[in-house]
Chain A
């Protein structure tokens, strides 16, 4: 069990690496002034197309790893689905029906083809189409992550940028202390603090998220998910604050910022007009990584507050040896990463005047 979870974690980490690597590669490519060599307006389009291509290759590569990675695990899908009592004949019949008697390559192609059409197969443990399992859960995940993003991201960025405006000040030091503490604190610890503070000390909110989201209005939903959203906001805030502060400070040491100081430009304008424009690239990157985490990595928070989302679903899949479920969710997580990183990269390209306005 532990081995399997380790495997799963290593596996998702590996996929993430693949997703982010081509992006770094392109980043260095930008250092070469392609724009200076008369590539013209096609440059931006060709870069985006190239990036799309890399994203597609990444998804395919991850699909290979997911499919054959789950095949390595012991156990046979037909056997698992039929249970211990099944006769060999029954199992063989199901194997044939599921296409498990065909070669791995054929199985992979069929599986990939079904995935493209939106058919993720049927769960081994519950005989329900995976799509149904997921659609029950994604509403919770989506609501929590979107709200966390809407509340957490802008506040964190503002705090980080303000820290960069006054580096070394009391405000900066306090914020650094808090955000470093939060980075170090595990999610369940932050969650416990939230529960202690709000539920027991202040008497507001629920320690456990119970009941269906059906039929609830927007504000009822916020109250419903208040504590998980707060906890997750703290978790992503720490990294976003550190990174946006570092990105802006990095730009603040450029000669053009010194020039702005020597031109008598006020500090506020230096940050918001001169520095921020050039820090967009690294900042959108961190934001995208954190958003991907909100969709795929919030296992502890989901379990702690007892609401069911996508992250707990994949853990359940591993526990029940439901390979088909793990495969489907793995692909969905991969797509989430690839799409978010794609958006971040295109935003970074768009913020680069050399690409937007070639010579």
Chain B
């Protein structure tokens, strides 16, 4: 691929590309409606749009591949001058992996769980006989080094489940690059990652694409990511190109109304001063729900009463009535476990959960109906949380009947009120969940929790599976419900931006311990706990050049290579902390630094050292 240094060489070109879905009755539904764009050597072209815009379908056309149920309906997909949309699988095989390679959204699903990593990374060039196994191994080793993977000599001998998610994502890049392709197709390769991991993966991708001199199609819905990596942006909506041009122009001077809408939906950076505080009307000082020294985990208890797989250690959190508490942290920090302990789904191994100052039985089964009614749970995936065989009226009717004892017309009226409350038309009561869109299902999911007329609603990543614009609407709804009903929300998310413009208070969880907690403004302004600082500085900005700056900061340098690790004593963030005091931090539990206004930082450093 370095044999042709011509920077203007067109690697891939879509010419009036059309792709249709084949319906059950055999008719065709156009999905991609005549798309044109070019990718030149050394260039990264981003395809952006919401889900349903056809961006993944278009990107796969570069490999001559359509997902089952789709077919090429017209136009051309020219890879190195050959129209791959009209070639058979056998004709395509030699170019796949060698001329063009694919990186999927979830590396965990893309790696075969039963085959060692190195075999999968080197498989394509060896099968295509462009490299011997030894040459491919050598190339893979080089890539492992370039992608800054730990223990590059031996990582290939492991199975996919033996490395972390972020490492697997980079290994997938190695798999794509091993055949030295001319074109890389990257489909949302960082969307499933934590912000801290996203930085390192993006950095690795960007560098490797540049060094290998490949061209790339980068599919994403995240404009902040696009600004870091793309040279050229194609904005898609409903299978059509709405606008395309150089990154600088699209980001800073968008022309098309849809692009402007996308730009507006970008979440503001987490900063002090955004948190919308709840109205005072419902506010009371006594906590509705509180945890006291809670320990919890999985795998049963060992001899001294501690869980075999500890997840939470000494958690003290209070949710005041009418307030919204955001719980943030990377995956594996115990956010969902904390919600499950509060709900009683996972009985705490130690400590207490208090409702209005009264100790709740740890297990759900021992709680009274009254206690159950006051704490409700909203799951992340509305798809799996709603019974597909029940109508919305039944889904909402059951808690109404169970907790409030309403039947018949009174129950139906309450269902209607709930639908009004979550801004859904009343006719939806007679529909099944599969007839609703993702955002609508999430609203039903919320309505079901509200049907019990609870005091505390635990929301576990309720917007994470939704598109940016849809998710923003759900947040607006939550804000309104909070104003109107006075319900307290516990809002769990790994997305700091969402939490910061919704929560009154934030609890930062790291490896099962509270690192920092306090009002949103206090947590998001100095002094920071070192982990909070890492999280805040990792949220990508829609500014070209941000990635390079961010990866130079002290936090990024110290923090990126770490993984969440639980410890039995001391501060679990020790290994990733730029301010760690060896000998102290890993052995002694950090003291609480209080400011007197409810802002707590658990750190061995003095508050003065954490500022600025």
Contact = CB atoms under 8 A, between A and B. Distances in A.
B161 interface: yes
Given A256-B109, A353-B159, A359-B162, A264 B94 contact: yes
A255 B109 contact: yes
Contacts of B7: none
Main secondary structure of the interface of A (DSSP, over half): helix
B124 A263 contact: yes
A261 B92 CA distance: 10
Contacts of B96: 261-264
A357 B161 CA distance: 9
A262 B102 contact: yes
A352 to B, nearest CB: 8
Contacts of B101: 262-263
Interface in B50-98: 60, 63, 65, 89, 92-98
B98 A264 contact: yes
B97 A33 contact: no
Interface string A336-359: 000000000000000101100101
A256 B161 contact: no
A223 interface: no
Contacts of A263: 96-97, 101-102, 123-124, 127, 175
Nearest to A254: B109
Contacts of A33: 161
A155 interface: no
Nearest to B105: A255
Nearest to B94: A264
B123 A278 contact: no
A25 interface: no
B161 A273 contact: no
Contact of B113 (A38, A260, A354): A354
A36 interface: yes
Interface residues of A, number: 29
B110 A256 contact: yes
Contact of A277 (B60, B97, B106, B114): B114
Nearest to A33: B161
Contacts of A254: 109
A264 B113 contact: no
Interface in B330-351: none
B309 interface: yes
Contacts of B115: 273-274, 277
Contacts of A266: 93, 127
A264 B97 contact: yes
B97 A354 contact: no
The residue among B124, B161, B298, B299 with the most chain A CB atoms within 10 A of its own CB is B161
Contacts of B123: 260, 263, 265
B112 interface: yes
Interface of A: 32-38, 254-256, 258-266, 269, 273-274, 277-278, 351, 353-354, 357, 359
13 contacts: A34-B299, A37-B299, A259-B104, A262-B65, A262-B96, A262-B97, A263-B101, A263-B123, A264-B95, A265-B124, A351-B114, A353-B161, A354-B113
